[in-house]
Amino acid sequence: EVQLLESGGGLVQPGGSLRLSCAASGFTFNNYAMSWVRQAPGKGLEWVSSISDSGDTTPYADSVRGRFTISRDNSKNTLYLQMNSLTAEDTAMYFCAKCASTCQHQNFQHWGQGTLVTVSS
Amino acid sequence: IQLTQSPSSLSASVGDRVTISCRASQGISSYLAWYQQKPGKAPRLLIYAASTLQSGVPPRFSGSGSGTDFTLTISSLQPEDSATYYCQKLSSYPLTFGGGTKVDIK
């Protein structure tokens, strides 16, 4: 059974940093691309970033490019999202998602339960 | 490329046929998925490649369309279908989601 467990969320001040993790199990992690998707309170879904199975392709949404960095450690079956220069607009539930092989041209097949990030002074 | 879902919300009775539209501002072939999200839960994949039913999803859900116009249909609405539904384009980055359609049961 595929399991995705996000962690690392919490309260952070504007301008601060946070690193999210997503521990994966139940599948061969290094064979699948992964993604982060966020959802601001009461709002819709927003794609944040994806990473290829090898980690060499990392597209970002315009809203986070230059501030967020997606990465993965295939030896630890873990996906990361390093978030810097955080603003109130980054307040959201952050979901990790397993793509069906690639993300582009495929789909987000499995999702974690999310970790909440709140940016506030 | 923008995705526009309509309506933004609807209310229907158990057993009704429900259709949700997703329109892309440019052609995206059949690179479209549909997700269901219930309050406080993660999204769930329903349909991919515009019309392929994900394993385990009830057959009352179906998807159609290609190019710019897509439809999610629930053939006979059930109480457990009360949720928000999102389309997502997967043709190219960014992998944008539609704004969502909230479905309530009368």
- B54-100 pLDDT, tens per residue? 999 999 999 999 999 999 999 999 999 999 999 999 999 999 999 99
Give the pLDDT of residue A100: 87
- Chain B partners of A35 at a C-beta cutoff of 8 Å? 95
Please name the residues in contact with B36: beta carbons below 8 A apart, sequence gap of 6 or more: B43, B44, B46, B81, B83, B84, B85
- Alpha-carbon span A87 to A66, nearest angstrom: 14
Judge whether A106 is closer than 8 Å to chain B, CB to CB: yes
Q: Is the pLDDT of residue B101 over 90?
A: yes
- Chain A partners of B43 at a C-beta cutoff of 8 Å? 37, 45, 95, 108, 111
- Alpha-carbon span A90 to A84, nearest angstrom: 10
Looking at residue B12, its amino acid is A
Question: For A74, which DSSP code?
Answer: T
Burial class (CB in 10 A: 0-12, 13-18, 19+), B14: exposed
Judge whether A116 is closer than 8 Å to chain B, CB to CB: no
From B40, which residue of chain A is nearest by alpha-carbon distance? A113
Interface of A with B in 4-33 (CB under 8 A): none
Cβ distance A50 to B35 less than 8 Å, yes or no, reads no
Cβ distance B43 to A107 less than 8 Å, yes or no, reads no
Give the pLDDT of residue A101: 86
Structural tokens at position A99? 């793509």
User: What residues in chain B have their Cβ under 8 A from chain A's Cβ atoms?
Assistant: 31, 33, 35, 37, 41-45, 48-49, 54, 86, 88, 90-100
From B36, which residue of chain A is nearest by alpha-carbon distance? A45
Q: Is the pLDDT of residue B20 over 90?
A: yes
Quick one: what percent of chain A has pLDDT higher than 70?
100
Q: Nearest CB to A46: which of B44, B54, B97?
A: B97
Give the pLDDT of residue A102: 87
Structural tokens at position A60? 């970002």
* Displacement of CA B77 from its chain's centroid (Å): 14
Cβ distance B42 to A111 less than 8 Å, yes or no, reads yes
Q: Judge contact between A31 and A24, C-beta under 8 A.
A: no
A62-77 mean pLDDT: 98
Q: Judge contact between B45 and B85, C-beta under 8 A.
A: no
Give the pLDDT of residue A85: 98
Looking at residue B18, its amino acid is V
Neighbours of B16 (CB within 10 A): 14
Report the relative pairing of strands B44-48 and B52-53 from DSSP bridges: antiparallel
Q: Is the pLDDT of residue A70 over 90?
A: yes
- Alpha-carbon span B72 to A86, nearest angstrom: 36
- Alpha-carbon span B53 to B44, nearest angstrom: 12
Q: Judge contact between A9 and A115, C-beta under 8 A.
A: yes
A48-75 mean pLDDT: 97
